[in-house]
Each structure stands twice: as structure tokens, then as C-alpha cells.
Amino acid sequence: MSNTLEITNLNVSIGDKQILKDFSLTIPKGEVHAIMGPNGTGKSTLAKAIAGHPDYEITSGEVLLDGESILDMEPDERSRAGLFLAFQYPMEIPGVSIANFIRAAKNARLSEDEELNAPAYYKELYEKMDMLQIDRKFTARSVNDGFSGGEKKRCEILQMAMLQPSYAVLDETDSGLDIDALKVVSEGVNTLRGDNLGVLVITHYQRLLDYIVPDVVHVMYDGRIVKSGDKNLALELESKGYDWVKELAPAGA
């Protein structure tokens, strides 16, 4: 289907351990889906497998971005195709400033005869940094180098705001954020919401979903989705904890 990020029967292993088990999920553009689940269930594995991380072996299944398979694409091709990943543990890139990093990523999206307009680029960068309440002195700082947890997460959303992907997967973007930073980051994501963006928010806690209100909530356990519902499902999980979720897994799993 076009205008969707469609994951079908995805099986993913790390070494000889199978993590994702016939995992299926379709995210239409314009919708925000949330995945919640206990630690170790495979949420980050899903994000990294979609991104094309080399440690995660896809043994079968399909991932279609607007109807086209991305599984044979390199991670940078997937990014140029419109996919964005915000990692649970963002990488530090000493020696590469935020401004140059995002500029290189934007340049990579232009054709050979196009050139990025530097003043327009900085204008956009500063506007979006202001939106995310990131101090302008960060422009010259190396990507994530010595950043606090919250600063890294804001920096990830800044990249997303600048690259304007079609689909964004945000892996525990709330971890390490205090309540003020959580609000800022959520507002940033909400500003980017719209008909041209599909979002998958991965979180362990319901709190984030008070600010980024999802259209659909999925509960993940042991490598697969065991229940889906509306935003109230997140509240149910919050009050009941994750223990009852185990009983929803298929027998013998």
C-alpha cells in the first residue's frame, strides 16, 4: 500500500537468538502509533532492524515504505527514502558539529545540480532550535558529544525537524527527560505531525503519551504485538503494569 510504512511478518535475529517473531504493523501517513512493552521485548530491535543496523539479521518478512521494499537499501538510502530514526541511545560524533552534520544530511538529499542555500539553511536551523529550546551555541558543538540525556533527545528531534521525513520512529525519546524537556520535545513532535508524516513512538512509560497523543497504541511482548487499541490502552497498561500482558502471548511462545 502506498502512503504507509508496512511491516509484514518480520523475523529478526541477533546472533542465534530470535527477537522479532512474525512482527506485523502498518503505519499510515498522518497517524501516530505508539508501541509500549516491557524491557527486553524487542522494541529497539524493531527500530534498528527498520533502520538497517548490520547486527540485526532479518531472516524473513518485508518492510515497505510507500509500497517499496527498503530491506535491500543501505541505512543512508533508507534515510533519503524518507525514513527517520531517533535512537534510544544516540551516538556521539566527536569533531562533527550539529550544523555541519545536518547540513551534510540535507545536501545528500539534493540532486547534483542543486546546492543548499546557506543563509536559508541557518535561518531554518535557528527557527527549529528555538522551537525546541536548544541554545544557539549548540550549533557549533559536536553531535551528542558530552550532551546530557535530554540534550541528546532534543538534538534528535532537531534532526527530524530539519530532515522532514515521511516516517519517523522515535525509540524511547522520553528516557532521560525531565518533565519540562518532555513537554518541549513533545511539542516539537506535535508541530511536525500532519498528513505527510507517519510516526511510531516507542516508549516504556505512558507519561509521554499524555503529550504526544497517539491514534493507535500497540502492546508488544516477546517479539510481537499482542494487543492494539486506542489511547486508553496506554492508561490501562499504566494502572495494571505489564504482568497481564504475558498472558496475551500465544501458548508455547
Residues 4, 44, 144, 173: which binds Mg ion (CB under 5 A)?
Answer: 44
Provide the minimum distance between the beta carbon of 193 and Mg ion in the complex, in angstroms, as a whole number: 23
Identify the CA nearest to 233 among candidates 214, 212, 208, 211.
Answer: 214
Distance (Å, rounded) from C-alpha 77 to C-alpha 68? Answer: 12
Stretch that binds ligand ADP, among 38-46, 78-86, 141-149, 237-245 (CB under 6 A): 38-46
- The reply on whether position 74 binds ligand ADP by CB under 6 A is no
- The reply on whether position 173 binds ligand ADP by CB under 6 A is no
Q: Give Cβ neighbours of residue 15 (< 8 Å, ≥ 6 apart).
A: none
Q: Give Cβ neighbours of residue 22 (< 8 Å, ≥ 6 apart).
A: 9, 10, 11, 61, 224
Provide the minimum distance between the beta carbon of 74 and ligand ADP in the complex, in angstroms, as a whole number: 19
Distance (Å, rounded) from C-alpha 13 to C-alpha 58? Answer: 7
- The reply on whether position 250 binds ligand ADP by CB under 6 A is no
Cβ pair 93, 101 in contact under 8 A: yes
Q: Which is nearer to ligand ADP, 41 or 159 (CB)?
A: 41
- The reply on whether position 41 binds ligand ADP by CB under 6 A is yes
> Binding string to Mg ion for residues 83 to 122, with x set by CB under 5 A, is what?
-----x----------------------------------
Cβ pair 16, 184 in contact under 8 A: no
Distance (Å, rounded) from C-alpha 18 to C-alpha 111? Answer: 40
Residues 5, 7, 12, 19: which binds ligand ADP (CB under 6 A)?
Answer: 19
> Binding string to Mg ion for residues 61 to 90, with x set by CB under 5 A, is what?
---------------------------x--
Q: Which is nearer to ligand ADP, 37 or 150 (CB)?
A: 37
For the beta carbon of residue 142, count every other beta carbon within 10 angstroms: 17
For 60-117, the three-class secondary structure string (H helix, E strand, C coil) is EEEEEECCEECCCCCHHHHHHCCEEEECCCCCCEEEEEHHHHHHHHHHCCCCCCCCCC
- The reply on whether position 55 binds ligand ADP by CB under 6 A is yes
Q: Which is nearer to ligand ADP, 57 or 124 (CB)?
A: 57
Residues 14, 58, 73, 96: which binds ligand ADP (CB under 6 A)?
Answer: 14
Contacts with ligand ADP, residue ranges (CB under 6 A):
14, 19, 37, 39-45, 55
Contacts with Mg ion, residue ranges (CB under 5 A):
43-44, 88
